[in-house]
Every structure is written in C-alpha cells, then in structure tokens.
Structure 1
Amino acid sequence: MAPMNGTQKVLSPSKLAHIVLRTNKFDQMRDYYCNFLGGHVVHGNEFLAFITYDDEHHRIALIGNPQLQDNPETTSGLEHIAFTFDTLQDLCTAYKQSKALGITPGWCVNHGPTTSMYYRDPDGNKIETQVDNYDTPEEATASMMTEDFAKNSLGMDYDPEELCRRVESGEDDASIKKQEKVVPRGLEDFPNIMAKMKTSKVGF
C-alpha cells in the first residue's frame, strides 16, 4: 500500500520495543505489571522501573511523579496496549493466575481475528491479552475485509469462565475461537463496554 501522500514509503521499524507510562501510583503500578506479566524489574529506583518478561531488555517502563493528576479517561490518548498468548490454554492459565492475585478483566470479547480479555491497571490504562484466531496474518486480514466484520468490528462478548471450561474440557480450539452468529454492533455500544471495563479489578 502506497503512503497516503503519494510519496515513497518510509522504512518500517523491525518491531515495537516497549511502552513507557507516566504514573502517580509508582509502587502500585510497578507491582501490578510485574505480577500481571510475570515479569521483573531489570533496573529500578524510587521513580523509574524497567520491566521485562522475555528476551527484550524492557517491555514496560514506568516514570513515577506524585504530582501528576489522575487519568480522567475523558481526553484523547492511548486506548490500550495488547499482549499475545500462543494458545487459548495459555490465555486461560494467565487469566486464572491473575484472578488469584485479584486481577480480573472487565471485558472479554471475540473480535473475530482474536479472542481477547481487557484489563485496567491501577492508573486506568487498558490492557488487552489475546490469542490469534487464525493460523496466519493473511487469514486474519482477510477476515477483517468481510461483510460480517464491517457489520461488527467490535466483536461478540463471552464469559471467561465458560471459555476456560471449554478449553479444559478438551474442546477443539478452532470451535471455541469461531464466533457465534454476528450481530451488528457499533459506536452506540461503547458506553456499555466502558461500563464493563470499570468492573476490572487491579489486585489486592
């Protein structure tokens, strides 16, 4: 796809490296991300924390400033960050382990391309954990170009306990990932989704 301004395409980065968040709840946010991601602090002090959970030196960085105002969630800005698991079993394992720590999602939805759970951190930032519903990016892209996806690009909600019960019963992943009958859904559904997100718990 050519750039929108008609000029030569800019060289794309090789990957997305990390996210940096400002916070006035530094200790709580540091502990939350270490718990939620199964991560650890590579370097930290009283106002900085570099957190990783894989081979990258840090995936989340936190900058603490007690003078910051709370996030009002009424301004333009970042909507959420997303982390992918390889399987539905892994998604459910992380869900149950997080739940044991008092961390629960507010919105669980099959988007079509992904099966997703949405959480909120102590500052109110939204986090998505997801599993790809298709074996290849090409298949996922093709699904996003269908009439069904145009009719409902938000997805169909599900109960995480029921999903995990189906996974643990040995049901085939493909049948669990398959969306039920798609019904239209659009901008008018956002207030209900936002209300669900407020039920997410951030820990003990």
Structure 2
Amino acid sequence: MTVDFDNPGDTVMRPASLAHVFLRTNKFTDMVAFYKKFLNAEARFESGRIAFLCFDEEHHRIAISAMPGTGDKIPTSAGLEHMAFTFNTLEDLALAYRQRKQLGILPTWCVHHGITISIYYKDPDGNQLETQVDCFDTVDAATDFMKTKEFQQNPIGTDFDPEELVRRLQSGEDHGSIKKRNEFAPRSVPPLPVR
C-alpha cells in the first residue's frame, strides 16, 4: 500500500486501541471538540455536561464531564502523566501526525524511547497524549531491550524530527532500521509543565 503523506486528507486515522479514560474539565466544549478531532472520535452519547467518545467497536473509550467546581489543571501536581494510543504501523503513526498537523494540532515532543517511537501532544486542559508504535514484534523482545546497557543508560530515549520520519518512510527505508534507536541522537527531557 502506498501512503500519500503529502495529501493526508481531512480526518485523522484511528488508533488501534485504548483503555477507558474519564476526564473532568472546566473546558467541556473545547475538550470534546479536541478529542473528536484528535482521535477522529464520535460521540456515543453527548449532553451539555458529559460526552462518551469512541474511535473503535467499544461503547466508549473516553468520557469527558463538566463537573461543578472543577478548576484549571495544576501542571505541577501529582496525577496522570499521559495517555498512550498505539498505532499498528509507522506509516499509520506518521500519517496521523501529518493529518493532525494539517488540522493545527502540533506535537510537543517526539522521542524514540527504544521500545516505542512516540509523538506527544497536549489537550486543551494540558493533559499529555502519547501516540506510539512498538519497536519490537513481541513483549518479550521489548522487555529484553529494557535489560540492555543502552536502555539502562538512557531509559527516556532520543529526540527525532517527525518530518524526518515521514521522509525516511517515503524513501522506502527498512522499518527495522527506523525502529532501531540512534544512541547518538539528541536527548532531551519531556517538556516541563507550565502554569
């Protein structure tokens, strides 16, 4: 299958899976609109105060509620760090990146963790969202990599440019070489929370 990254279309490719997440917010309208766009999700039920959204066969994967008394998220407080959405292929991840970019949704951090290649985003409340592809064919192989010296020395990963990922895919580069982490690439830490 040939993927046309330069004409990604108007909708975002749906992820392969996600467990149920419930979010409370004081930005209900913005949050519901964002997740509908970000995941190409549909509302299975939506009122003025709660929405049950889904992007697959499940009855809902994300619930969003406008609960009375909810203040702004405090980025430096303890709590959920991020939600992760898995794609089946590098092409799916890169195409979804290009589709989101076309819709004005830009990544906050792109990192090759070694076990996954991940592109992070933020929703209107400041919650982080990871979109990822596994780098190994089995859980055992990923676990074995986590026991290596390379992973122990760098459990966070190395940065990458998502446009470079698109270029490498367009060139027909072998997925195995793309999924192998470049240990000499730049390394940063996740973006710090901003008040």
Report the TM-score range of the alignment, normalised by the length of the smaller protein: 0.7 to 0.9
Question: What are the residue-to-residue correspondences of 1:140-159 with 2, within 5 Å?
Answer: 140-159=142-161
User: SS of 2:110's equivalent?
Assistant: strand
Flag the structure with larger Rg: 1
Distance 1:61 1:118 in 2: 20
- Distance 1:16-1:178 versus aligned 2 partners, 3 A rule: closer
Counterpart contact for 2:159–2:186, Cα < 8 Å? no
What is the distance in 1 between the residues matched to 2:121 and 2:76? 18
Query: TM-score, normalized by length of structure 2?
Result: 0.86
CA distance in 1, matches of 2:61, 2:167: 31
Please tell me the root mean square deviation across aligned C-alpha atoms, in Å. 2.0
Q: Which runs of 4+ in 1 moved over 2 A?
A: 181-185
Query: Alignment partner of 1:93: what SS?
Result: helix
Q: Is the 2:116–2:135 contact (alpha carbons within 8 Å) kept by the matching residues of 1?
A: yes
**Paired position in structure 1 for 2:168:** 166
Tell me whether 1:78 sits opposite 2:80 in the alignment: yes
Map 1:41-190 → 2, pairs under 5 A = 41-65=43-67, 67-181=69-183, 190=189
State the distance in 1 between where 2:62 and 2:96 align. Answer: 18
Looking at structure 2, the residues matched to 16 and 166 of structure 1 have their Cα atoms a distance apart, in angstroms, of 27
TM-score calculated relative to the size of structure 1: 0.82
Q: Which runs of 5+ in 2 are unaligned?
A: 1-16
Aligned length: 178
